[in-house]
Structure 1
Amino acid sequence: MIPDKAPVEKDLYHAAPEVVNGAHVPNFQKYKELYLQSTQNPEEFWGRIAKEYYWKTPQTGKFLDYNFDLTKGKIYIKWMEGATTNICYNLLDRNVHQKKLGDKIAFYWEGNDPEDCMQVTYKELLQQVCKFANVLRSQGVKKGDRVSVYMPMMIESVVVMLACTRIGAIHSVVFAGFSAESLCERILDSRCSLLVTADGFYRGDKPIDLKHIADEALRKCRDRNFRVGRCIVVKHLGVTEATGATDETCTVKASSDTSQSPPAKRSCYNLQDKNNEKAKNVHHKMQITWNADVDIWWHDLMKEASDKCEPEWCDFEDPLFILYTSGSTGKPKGVQHAVGGYLLYTATTFKYVFDYKPDDVYWCTADVGWITGHSYIVYGPLANGATSVMFEGIPTYPNVSRLWEIIDKYKVTTFYTAPTAIRLLMKYGEEPVKKFSRKSLKILGTVGEPINPEAWLWYYNVVGNSKCPIMDTFWQTETGGHMMTPLPAAIPLKPGSATFPFFGVTPAILNETGEELEGMAEGYLVFKKPWPSIMRTIYGNHQRFETTYFKKFPGYFVTGDGCKRDKDGYYWITGRIDDMLNVSGHLLSTAEVESALIEHTSIAEAATVSHPHPIKGECLYCFVTLKDGHEFTETLVTELKDKVREKIGPIATPDYVQNAPGLPKTRSGKIMRRILRKIARNENDLGDTSTLADGTVIEELFKNRCKTA
């Protein structure tokens, strides 16, 4: 339950008067009024919001129909029966034609190199999206087909996503840091008919040969009897074209005058600090392999395409996109979101959580390969006609002031980033931050994992000049948008708390037996009713969807996260309850990592747990049991780390690998990860070990601990 009044304790943080003035939700009473409307009469609440968007045909049947209880039959969620729309039309055509925002900047694009920047207006973005939608149609892509997107942070990524939605195709974006094997798995699972990628990009001063990784993924697909018919390649680094026969090799060199498509680069604001260190121009020769039967340059296709394209009208419940998230079984889950509900919820959460105003400049530092990039770089901001910054680089390149430099450069008002980035920059102190004024900032946000109070206070006091409220948002790939979050002017803040539920969200805390806990409590976080952007299924495996999210507690959506509620009703996320790892805000499955380790010929068995990390929040601590006749060496540790990088990606690289002659198991053979977590942390209080089959392994595991952990 939401308390009647906001608490008035001295350790609370309140919004500055300039944030409160003109806020969409100016106080706690207004928040509670809207919250009760949204939960008691969702048809009236969401129906009113739906009127702000274009519907080709209106709702004709039930506004909401659902079943969360497996004991009563199949799980389903259906909203606004009969309504049809096109999400691209609402994001672009509506803003250009009805709202007259054609000349408004949609994105400022900031490259990895500080001197590499451009901007694109809503009108230009609409033209480019229509052109690429026609390209997709010319390649045989039609409504319901899946398109894989494996691209860096560039405007073309947004163009591809929205072009898919314009013709009713389903995009499946794969983070450009994932390995060829991970890309292959996702292409195979979703049966994508076409891949869009880029030649390469820079991450700091490191060149990434993206085309090579994409080629390797397509080869792996062919080895498993699945052929992707076309690979469209954006020339991001290259200045020369590949021509000629199949498998020709061409040299592609990075250059500061590289052509960008779309549109051509434009001049951007001069840096306020002229003496700020500039990124060095890095020239890198990149060899890319060209298969003329499959590969085709983006710009060659776009040259001939028309910039007029009629949208495909889609049902409210038609699939919008598939985005893969790690599963506890090790096989990634293809989370499938629906057109209408995702539009309504991402647009509404963006408007209220960031208190969006038309003159704001918003910046989310996430990657479009993750749900945060989907919801709060692409769909939510564009639905509101917002101007956003899109950043290709990293926080520490070419120096540790890069983020604050960008905030001043574009006069950013709302800044949304991950606790990992905050902790990373904290260690460099205040001086790199205070080189820049950041006076444009009004609202800060965090996403991806719970933020520890120390990092929260540094973010608030140093980055936000002790005046910007922090929106500590809890949500998941599966939820589509913010679930637990403050609102800038309405909810007093407690460092580290996600505070209260967003409109339409009905949380509960359950104990192990499924009993709802009232008042101060700690247990499983679940949701009692659907919200518009809840995932509809796992692509191709509805049974897994039902088992994963609804089987444990019939009648509830189970998040897999633990939660506690304090005496004031504030919610605090305590982390994953299942066998998942949260590394720098990215979920990884223990099974996926262990599977990669066991592929090494020396390894008989493996177990992975989380270990505290000062920057990433958590890192991977792996226990490996060797096969007879094999020796545990530094070379083996390096090979195992490389194996995980190859199978999953750099983000999953273990920090620690420990020799484990035996693993603690129950009598039924289940690995006791709880005990392994204690050993990794060098904590001798192991709790109840009565179910441990062989207690002698414990002493050996403590003896073999990684000494630096």
Structure 2
Amino acid sequence: MRRGCVAYALRSRWREGNYWDDDVHDYADLNWDTVDVLTQKIANVFKEYCEMNDKVLLLLHNTIQLPLSLLAASRVGIIAVVLNPARFYVDAIKDVLKETQPKLVVTIDAFWQANVLLETKKCLDLAIEESEVTSIEKVLVIRHTGPNPGIPPPDKFIIGRRPYYKLEVKMNDSVDILWTTLMKQADPNCEVVWLPRDHPFAILPEWDPTIRLRTVSTGQLLRAVEKYSREVMSFCLSLPHPQTPLGLVGCLAPWFGGMVLATFEGILDWPDPSRLKHVIAKYEVTSAILPTCKLDPEYMSFVAVPTLRRIITEVGNASTLEENFSDVEIIEMDVEKSLR
């Protein structure tokens, strides 16, 4: 664990998300105590605006706040609605707002996908305005890409690098509030609310072509997470987004088994198609949960991943992964069967 990052995260007044360390790229590293404290703080913040069975929309890509918020919501019986802003924009957000009527929204200002800046807060504002939804009491905004207040901009702007000083984020004082403002004030102790097995853990929106809300109960999720936790090894990289069943199970299975979870915010073909192996090698990942994805065998062959021992993937995806990870054990698991 790199304690410098954790220490900075705890004392910083301004930034949340990933942190810069001198000898590595943009990343965060949290120990178990920090995860526990943050989960309880987030749960107490949620309780300020939501009651049991109310909904919180988690409009987040693969940031560390997403699995923490999932655990926090479940801790107090609040139902998480998970939406991936890397794939779904204004129209989809409008659909979700109308169908779920959340009391609370957690989102980020913006984030980079390669050299493309996705302004999530701007999309959310437009969706709220056009949907005319009135259920939302607060929008919690994580400053993820925007600059620190009062810090002068650099002489040169680098596309894809944070903070990005050209990003402008409008805050509505009656609804919007910075995540850090509430986290600093929140009580780090929150009692667990015991839930029945059929209590909704999360709602996963799907479109085919119209919206369908899939509910995963606490009992279903725990059964699936327990099965997957038997197969993962620490350090475990979980790549799919938690809006998908595999991503929801994958982001919690390592923690359920007492292991280290690694997440990745970027895309797999930037700056070149070997990115996935570079991430695995850099952080010495030993196991990975991977969805079906396009990989380039030629580029992937350039990078060795000596620490990687096992990959867990969807049924039917093993042959593709074996071509790119010839010396790694590949296990296919049916997440739908595990969730029954």
**TM interval, short-chain normalised:** 0.7 to 0.9
Does residue 366 of structure 1 match 2:243? no
Does residue 171 of structure 1 match 2:38? no
Whole-angstrom CA distance in 1 between matches of 2:221 and 2:182: 30
State the AA in 1 paired with 2:303.
F
Whole-angstrom CA distance in 2 between matches of 1:202 and 1:280: 6
Deviation at 1:461, TM superposition (A): 4.6
> Given that residues 101 and 135 in structure 2 are in contact (C-alpha distance below 8 angstroms), is that contact kept between their aligned partners in structure 1?
no
Deviation at 1:319, TM superposition (A): 1.6
CA distance 1:445–1:254, change in 2 (3 Å): farther
Deviation at 1:462, TM superposition (A): 4.0
Whole-angstrom CA distance in 2 between matches of 1:326 and 1:450: 22
Aligned 1:563-578 pairs, distance under 5 A: none
**Which of 168, 172, 176 is the aligned partner of 1:287?**
168
Which secondary structure does the structure 1 equivalent of 2:262 belong to?
strand
**Which of 137, 142, 146 is the aligned partner of 2:47?**
137
Counterpart of 1:441 in structure 2 is: 308
Whole-angstrom CA distance in 1 between matches of 2:161 and 2:97: 35
> Given that residues 146 and 168 in structure 2 are in contact (C-alpha distance below 8 angstroms), is that contact kept between their aligned partners in structure 1?
no
Does residue 419 of structure 1 match 2:292? yes
Deviation at 1:472, TM superposition (A): 2.9
> Given that residues 228 and 250 in structure 2 are in contact (C-alpha distance below 8 angstroms), is that contact kept between their aligned partners in structure 1?
no
**Which of 143, 146, 153 is the aligned partner of 1:238?**
146
Deviation at 1:238, TM superposition (A): 1.6
Whole-angstrom CA distance in 2 between matches of 1:309 and 1:155: 20
Deviation at 1:345, TM superposition (A): 2.4
Counterpart of 1:339 in structure 2 is: 218
CA distance 1:457–1:193, change in 2 (3 Å): closer
> Given that residues 229 and 256 in structure 2 are in contact (C-alpha distance below 8 angstroms), is that contact kept between their aligned partners in structure 1?
no
**Which of 43, 60, 82 is the aligned partner of 1:151?**
60
> Given that residues 195 and 228 in structure 1 are in contact (C-alpha distance below 8 angstroms), is that contact kept between their aligned partners in structure 2?
yes
Deviation at 1:226, TM superposition (A): 3.2
CA distance 1:192–1:154, change in 2 (3 Å): same
> Given that residues 149 and 174 in structure 1 are in contact (C-alpha distance below 8 angstroms), is that contact kept between their aligned partners in structure 2?
yes
Does residue 381 of structure 1 match 2:254? yes
Deviation at 1:338, TM superposition (A): 1.6
Which secondary structure does the structure 2 equivalent of 1:185 belong to?
helix
Whole-angstrom CA distance in 2 between matches of 1:254 and 1:199: 20
Counterpart of 2:183 in structure 1 is: 302
Deviation at 1:284, TM superposition (A): 5.0
Counterpart of 1:707 in structure 2 is: none
Counterpart of 1:390 in structure 2 is: 263
CA distance 1:286–1:309, change in 2 (3 Å): same
Structure 1, gaps ≥5 residues long: 1-107, 243-250, 256-277, 484-530, 535-709
Whole-angstrom CA distance in 2 between matches of 1:474 and 1:340: 17
**Which of 324, 328, 333 is the aligned partner of 1:473?**
333
Whole-angstrom CA distance in 2 between matches of 1:167 and 1:199: 26
> Given that residues 441 and 464 in structure 1 are in contact (C-alpha distance below 8 angstroms), is that contact kept between their aligned partners in structure 2?
no
Whole-angstrom CA distance in 2 between matches of 1:461 and 1:229: 50
Does residue 116 of structure 1 match 2:62? no
For these two proteins, the number of residue pairs brought into alignment is 317
Counterpart of 1:400 in structure 2 is: 273
Which secondary structure does the structure 1 equivalent of 2:250 belong to?
helix
Counterpart of 1:674 in structure 2 is: none
Deviation at 1:138, TM superposition (A): 1.9
Deviation at 1:121, TM superposition (A): 1.4
CA distance 1:440–1:325, change in 2 (3 Å): same
CA distance 1:170–1:304, change in 2 (3 Å): same
Counterpart of 1:587 in structure 2 is: none
- TM-score by length of structure 1 reads 0.42
CA distance 1:170–1:241, change in 2 (3 Å): farther
Whole-angstrom CA distance in 2 between matches of 1:186 and 1:462: 37
CA distance 1:253–1:136, change in 2 (3 Å): farther
Q: CA RMSD in A?
A: 2.9
CA distance 1:253–1:180, change in 2 (3 Å): farther
Does residue 190 of structure 1 match 2:71? no
Per-residue Cα deviation, 1:534-560 (whole angstroms, up to 9, x for no partner): 3xxxxxxxxxxxxxxxxxxxxxxxxxx
Deviation at 1:239, TM superposition (A): 2.4
> Given that residues 279 and 397 in structure 1 are in contact (C-alpha distance below 8 angstroms), is that contact kept between their aligned partners in structure 2?
no
Deviation at 1:368, TM superposition (A): 2.5
Deviation at 1:109, TM superposition (A): 6.8
Whole-angstrom CA distance in 1 between matches of 2:263 and 2:123: 24
Does residue 317 of structure 1 match 2:198? yes
State the AA in 1 paired with 2:236.
Y
Per-residue Cα deviation, 1:307-357 (whole angstroms, up to 9, x for no partner): 111111111221211111224xx3322111221232122212331xx3x35
Which secondary structure does the structure 1 equivalent of 2:294 belong to?
helix
> Given that residues 105 and 140 in structure 2 are in contact (C-alpha distance below 8 angstroms), is that contact kept between their aligned partners in structure 1?
yes
Whole-angstrom CA distance in 1 between matches of 2:52 and 2:183: 20
Whole-angstrom CA distance in 1 between matches of 2:159 and 2:116: 13
Whole-angstrom CA distance in 2 between matches of 1:216 and 1:182: 11
Deviation at 1:227, TM superposition (A): 4.0
> Given that residues 205 and 243 in structure 2 are in contact (C-alpha distance below 8 angstroms), is that contact kept between their aligned partners in structure 1?
no
Does residue 349 of structure 1 match 2:207? no
Per-residue Cα deviation, 1:400-455 (whole angstroms, up to 9, x for no partner): 32211121122212123233232xx23xx1xx3344321112112333x743xxxx
Which secondary structure does the structure 2 equivalent of 1:315 belong to?
coil
Whole-angstrom CA distance in 1 between matches of 2:219 and 2:292: 31
State the AA in 2 paired with 1:172.
V
State the AA in 1 paired with 2:210.
K
Deviation at 1:474, TM superposition (A): 3.6
Whole-angstrom CA distance in 2 between matches of 1:462 and 1:144: 44
Per-residue Cα deviation, 1:352-372 (whole angstroms, up to 9, x for no partner): xx3x35xx3111221233222
Does residue 206 of structure 1 match 2:73? no
Deviation at 1:110, TM superposition (A): 9.4
- TM-score by length of structure 2 reads 0.84
> Given that residues 395 and 402 in structure 1 are in contact (C-alpha distance below 8 angstroms), is that contact kept between their aligned partners in structure 2?
yes
> Given that residues 414 and 441 in structure 1 are in contact (C-alpha distance below 8 angstroms), is that contact kept between their aligned partners in structure 2?
yes
Whole-angstrom CA distance in 1 between matches of 2:68 and 2:333: 27
Per-residue Cα deviation, 1:562-616 (whole angstroms, up to 9, x for no partner): xxxxxxxxxxxxxxxxxxxxxxxxxxxxxxxxxxxxxxxxxxxxxxxxxxxxxxx
**Which of 125, 137, 141 is the aligned partner of 1:229?**
137
